[in-house]
Amino acid sequence: MTSLMGEVEALARASGVDVDPDVVGQALAIIDGATPAMKPSMQRDVEVGRPSELESMVGVVTRKGRELGVPTPTADMVYAALLPMELKAQLNLR
């Protein structure tokens, strides 16, 4: 999670977005404060075989990284790992 957030931070900076120096730490503190039973919507979608926000949450990171020349190895791995489930969920809608 920290690595993926760091990649998003690097993309923001490469795009000229002024982010707080501790943006990743702040985001992790929010996540750490969540109740243990809380699940992100993307996880709930994947668990029940529904299409998720894979493209808009992870795919965009990989594409923007290639566009800006910013390495996104964690996002690339997460995207590759989840894409088969995403494609299967999309086929189940037809």
User: Which is higher by pLDDT, 75 or 42?
Assistant: 75
Tell me the average pLDDT across 33-54.
90
Residues 6 or more apart in contact with residue 31 via CB below 8 angstroms: 1
Q: What's the whole-model pTM score?
A: 0.88
Whole-number Å distance between alpha carbons of 6 and 29: 14
Q: What is the pLDDT of residue 94?
A: 67
CA distances from 36 to 14, 31, 82, 91 (A): 34, 10, 23, 32
Q: Is the pLDDT of residue 93 over 90?
A: no
Query: Total domain count for the chain?
Result: 1
pLDDT tens-digit readout, 46-67 = 888 889 999 999 999 999 999 9
Q: What is the CA radius of gyration of the chain?
A: 15
- Full domain range(s) for residue 48: 2-92
